């Protein structure tokens, strides 16, 4: 139906990849780093993203975009140019579509803009971010901001994101949940996970 | 309906040999609708209204509906100016979808997408679109199509879609059901009739009839910029249809005497800050050439040039090909020099300067940003740039 699958659809489509329990304690992300979680989560990889949830992805979800390289999109599914028909491209008939890509020289504002533009595509709803401020991720100077949107299911959701660019790669962790209940319920748990992030392999 | 896309889909269906679609000429057997009309409860039309009333009830509460009073008041007032005695039968809704589209359902529910409002430069251009939709309503074109096609569920689904709007990314890939429904919507004859009636209604109300062709010229230019004709080349180009439409409307406008009492132009005041949020939605779709064409036209016509220049800067900054950074910077700078610059334009200049390592120039613009927006919620981040850390 579309190239760009919504996060919700993506999660349904990924149904063949069952969730796996992550017990409280230390969690390694191969090559990227590790976190410490005070509670159990359910884990499932989608595309290049690690996703965690407690009650289901529509209720609350924690997402880890780790090591996004210069020129890449936040998820592979967001790279529209990769879906262009090479024959048409060769004939110069390139569709009028441009992906939102991370660039290593981006300022914090630009990364927040990349995030909201990408999330607006994923959720198929206008995503609004606010409160950009300096913050640490894994001991590196980075940023954090809040975001909100009303999804296609007409449910209002809130989220926060913490990130940093380290060795020209973007690391971004965010947590989102229903504004009415789930966001607040596990926000502190999510904050502790994000605060515990340690980059792999010290310099 | 006014959508260029569905209009061309109808033509495609015609080429595909669908015999049912174009058999009825203009103003066929049905009498025009009367003011205060309700269908006979036992008729197929009543069944359609019932479904549409349900769609309307759901959508009245939809988060996609734009509730800002000034634009809703304006649209309601315009509908009354255009429709006269039919005013109480028509209920306009403004929906947040970044695409050029409007429809009027047979039960009197009118939907206007935000992407259409963004593309109207004047109240007359919006009147052209509303007049066209009211034309379909008065001539009961939907019912004629329904009688021909017997696709009641598709019909309801079609109007549901008009109200909800597709996801921004979905606009190019309408679902199969909806494509079917829009194919069977209106014939070319119906479109031509709605164009003529719409122009008469808006000109009678004092609007400038030349605006009818102008709005289609905008769409034609955007289609050409976006390479839309190439997309359909294998079947037919949409442009002859649009060109024919423009020629017809130009001819009809020429035959109108000048308005005795010209209508006001309240569109830009009523849209206010909404226009910039529509620009933000527009650039989030990820179309480049089409959006560049739109923003360049708004800048050229002096329609919120501060906002349009800023978002054109954003469009280029995001694409980030060779030379784009300089174009983005130039647009941010120009936006800063307009009478009503968005605060973010100052931050935009600062951002590009910062990227380039031009720290002191960047700080000058970050300071200006904070002067314009002293309570900005990213103040902590900006102050970090200023602190010399
Ligand atoms: Zn029409």
Least confident of A117-121, B44-48, B264-268: B44-48
Contact call for A131 and B354, based on CB within 8 A: no
Interface of A with B in 35-94 (CB under 8 A): 80, 93-94
Chain B residues 108-147 with a CB less than 8 Å from chain A = none
Residue B66, min C-alpha distance to chain A (Å): 13
A-chain residue closest to B224, CA distance? A96
- Please say if the pLDDT value at position B218 is more than 50: yes
Nearest to B288 among A6, A98, A108 (CB): A98
Find the CB nearest A107 among B169, B288, B354.
B354
Note the helical H segments in B26-68. Answer: 44-60
Query: Which pLDDT score is estimated for B25?
Result: 38
CB contact, 8 Å: A131 with chain B?
yes
CA distance B95 to B101: 10
Low-confidence winner among B18-22, B74-78, B188-192, B221-225 (lowest mean pLDDT)? B18-22
Is residue B306 scored above 90 in pLDDT? yes
Is the confidence at residue B270, as pLDDT, over 50?
A: yes
Please state, for a pLDDT cut of 70, what percent of chain B lies above it.
78
Which chain A residues contact residue B318 at CB under 8 A? 98, 100, 113-114, 117
Contact between chains at A121 and B169 (C-beta distance less than 8 A): yes
A96 in B contact zone (CB under 8 Å)? yes
User: Is residue A7 very low, low, confident or very high in pLDDT (cuts 50, 70, 90)?
Assistant: very low
The pLDDT, as a whole number, for residue A59 is 94
- Cβ distance A96 to B290 less than 8 Å, yes or no, reads yes
pLDDT in tens, B106-165: 899 999 999 999 999 999 999 999 999 999 999 888 777 666 655 556 666 666 665 555
Does B167 sit within 8 Å of A152, measured CB to CB? yes
Q: Does B10 or B108 have the greater pLDDT score?
A: B108
Q: What is the mean pLDDT of residues B6-18?
A: 30
Q: Do B347 and A100 touch (CB under 8 A)?
A: no
Query: pLDDT at residue A42 above 50?
Result: yes
Residue of A175, A151, A152, A153 lying closest to A162 (CA atoms): A175
Beta-bridge partner residues of A68: A170
Residues 6+ apart with CB under 8 A from A174: A62, A63, A65, A115, A147, A159, A160, A161, A162
pLDDT of residue B153: 62
- Shortest Cα distance from B179 to chain A (angstroms)? 12
* Domain extent listing, chain A: 2-199
Question: Would you give the end-to-end CA distance of chain B in angstroms?
Answer: 57
Chain A CB contacts of B377 below 8 Å: 130-132
Note the pLDDT of residue A148: 97
Mutate to test the interface with B, among A85, A98, A147 (most CBs of B within 10 A): A98
**Residue B131, pLDDT score:** 97
Query: Best of B175, B356, B381 to disrupt the A interface by mutation (most A CBs within 10 Å)?
Result: B381
pLDDT at B243 over 50: yes
User: Is the Cβ pair B168, A120 closer than 8 Å?
Assistant: yes
Nearest-CB residue to A124 (from B170, B286, B319): B170
- pLDDT score of B389: 52
Asked if B63 and A80 come within 8 Å (Cβ–Cβ), the reply is: no
pLDDT the model gives residue A85:
82
Q: Which of B166, B286, B344 to mutate to test the interface with A (most CBs of A within 10 A)?
A: B286
- Minimum mean pLDDT range among A78-82, A98-102, B56-60, B115-119: B56-60
pLDDT of residue B18: 26
Instruction: Report residue B169's pLDDT band, with 50, 70 and 90 as the boundaries.
Output: very low
Domain A2-199 has CATH 3.40.1000.10: yes
Q: How far is CA B314 from CA A114, B67, B326, B377, B378, in A?
A: 11, 27, 12, 20, 18
pLDDT digits (tens, 9 = 90+) for B363-380: 999 999 999 999 999 999
Question: Closest partner residue to A124 among B96, B169, B314, by Cβ?
Answer: B169
Average pLDDT over residues B43-71: 87
Which residue from A3, A93, A130 is facing B377, i.e. has the nearest CB? A130
Q: What is the pLDDT of residue B62?
A: 81
- Residue A190: which of A159, A166, A153, A145 has the closest Cα? A159
- The verdict on B284 touching A (C-beta cutoff 8 Å) is yes
**Mutation site, A96, A124, A135, A151, interface B, largest B CB count within 10 A:** A96
Which of chain B's residues have a Cβ under 8 Å away from the Cβ of A113?
314, 318
pLDDT digits (tens, 9 = 90+) for A126-172: 999 999 999 999 999 999 999 999 988 889 999 999 999 999 999 99
Residues 6+ away with beta carbon under 8 Å from B162: B1, B95, B101, B103, B105, B111
Provide the pLDDT for residue A41: 96
- The lowest-confidence range among A9-18, A68-77, A123-132, B144-153 is A9-18
Give long-range contacts, CB 8 A cutoff, 24+ apart: B297-305.
B297/B218, B297/B221, B298/B121, B301/B121, B303/B121, B303/B268, B303/B275, B304/B268, B304/B275, B304/B276, B304/B340, B305/B334, B305/B335, B305/B338
Q: Which residues of chain B neighbour A105 with C-beta distances below 8 Å?
A: 355
Say whether B318 and A117 touch across the interface (CB within 8 A): yes
Q: Assess whether pLDDT exceeds 50 at residue A9.
A: no
Average pLDDT over residues B55-67: 85
CB spacing of A134 vs B380 below 8 angstroms: yes
**Residue A192 vs residues A22, A34, A63, A158: alpha-carbon distances, Å:** 15, 13, 14, 17
**Integer Cα distance of A6 and B173 in angstroms:** 14
Strand order in the sheet with A60-68: A20-22, A41-46, A49-53, A60-68, A169-178, A156-166, A140-150, A128-137
How confident is the model at residue A173, as a pLDDT?
Answer: 98
Closest partner residue to B287 (CB to CB) among A96, A120, A131 is A96
Where in chain B are the domains? 4-254, 275-387
CATH 1.25.40.10 fits B275-387, yes or no: yes
For residue B16, pLDDT beyond 70:
no
- CA of B244, closest CA in chain A: separation in Å? 25
**Among A160-164, B86-90, B222-226, where is mean pLDDT lowest?**
B222-226
Task: Find the helix or strand (DSSP H, E) in which A64 lies.
Answer: strand A60-68
A144 — contact with chain B (CB < 8 Å)?
no
CA of B102 to the centre of ligand 1 (A): 8
Mean per-residue pLDDT over chain A, rounded: 89
Q: Is the CB of residue A95 less than 8 Å away from at least one CB of chain B?
A: yes
Between the CA of B133 and the centroid of ligand 1 the distance, in Å, is 6
Residue B382's pLDDT band (boundaries 50, 70, 90)?
Answer: very high
């Amino acid at each position: 139906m579309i190239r760009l699958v919504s996060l919700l659809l993506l999660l349904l489509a990924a149904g063949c990849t069952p969730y796996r329990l992550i017990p409280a304690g230390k969690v390694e992300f191969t090559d990227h780093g590790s976190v410490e979680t005070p509670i159990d989560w359910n884990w499932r990889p989608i595309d290049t993203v690690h996703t965690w949830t407690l009650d289901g992805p529509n209720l609350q979800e924690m997402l880890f975009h780790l090591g996004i390289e210069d020129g890449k999109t936040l998820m592979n599914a967001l790279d529209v140019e990769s879906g262009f028909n090479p024959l048409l491209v060769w004939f110069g008939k390139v569709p009028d579509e441009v992906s939102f890509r991370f660039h290593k020289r981006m300022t914090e504002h630009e990364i927040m803009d990349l995030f909201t533009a990408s999330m607006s595509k994923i959720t198929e709803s206008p995503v609004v971010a606010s409160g950009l401020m300096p913050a640490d991720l894994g001991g590196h100077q980075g940023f954090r901001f809040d975001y909100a949107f009303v999804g296609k299911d007409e449910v209002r959701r809130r989220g926060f994101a913490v990130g940093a660019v380290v060795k020209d790669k973007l690391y971004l962790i965010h947590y989102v949940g229903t504004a009415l209940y789930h966001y607040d319920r596990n926000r502190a748990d999510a904050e502790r996970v994000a605060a515990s992030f340690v980059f792999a392999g010290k310099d | 309906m006014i959508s260029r896309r569905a209009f061309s889909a109808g033509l495609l269906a015609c080429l595909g040999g669908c015999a049912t679609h174009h058999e009825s000429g203009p103003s066929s057997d049905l009498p025009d609708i009367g003011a205060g009309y309700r269908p006979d409860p036992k008729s197929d039309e009543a069944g359609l209204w019932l479904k549409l009333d349900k769609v309307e009830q759901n959508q009245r509460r939809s988060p996609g509906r734009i509730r800002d009073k000034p634009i809703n008041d304006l649209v309601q007032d315009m509908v009354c100016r255009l429709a006269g005695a039919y005013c109480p039968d028509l209920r306009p809704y403004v929906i947040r979808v970044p695409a050029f589209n409007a429809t009027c359902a047979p039960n009197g529910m009118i939907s206007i997408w935000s992407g259409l409002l963004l593309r109207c430069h004047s109240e007359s251009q919006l009147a052209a679109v509303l007049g066209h939709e009211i034309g379909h309503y008065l001539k009961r074109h939907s019912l004629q199509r329904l009688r021909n096609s017997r696709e009641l569920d598709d019909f309801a689904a079609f109007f549901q879609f008009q109200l909800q709007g597709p996801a921004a990314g979905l606009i190019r890939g309408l679902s199969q059901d909806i494509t079917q429904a829009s194919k069977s919507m209106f014939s070319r004859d119906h479109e031509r009739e709605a164009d003529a009636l719409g122009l008469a209604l808006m000109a009678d109300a004092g609007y400038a009839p030349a605006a009818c062709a102008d709005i289609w010229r905008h769409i034609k230019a955007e289609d050409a910029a976006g390479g839309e004709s190439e997309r359909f080349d294998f079947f037919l180009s949409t442009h002859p249809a649009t060109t024919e439409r423009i020629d017809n409307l130009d001819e009809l406008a020429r035959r109108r005497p000048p308005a005795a009492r010209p209508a006001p132009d309240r569109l830009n005041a009523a849209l206010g800050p909404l226009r910039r949020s529509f620009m933000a939605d527009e650039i989030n779709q990820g179309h480049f050439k089409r959006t560049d064409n739109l923003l360049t036209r708004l800048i050229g016509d002096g329609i919120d040039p501060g906002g349009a220049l800023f978002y054109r800067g954003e469009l280029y900054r995001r694409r980030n090909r060779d030379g784009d950074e300089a174009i983005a910077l130039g647009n941010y700078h120009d936006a800063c020099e307009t009478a009503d610059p968005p605060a973010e334009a100052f931050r935009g200049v600062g951002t590009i300067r910062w990227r380039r390592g031009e720290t002191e120039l960047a700080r000058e613009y970050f300071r200006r940003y904070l002067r314009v927006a002293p309570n900005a919620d990213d103040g902590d981040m900006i102050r970090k740039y200023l602190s010399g850390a």
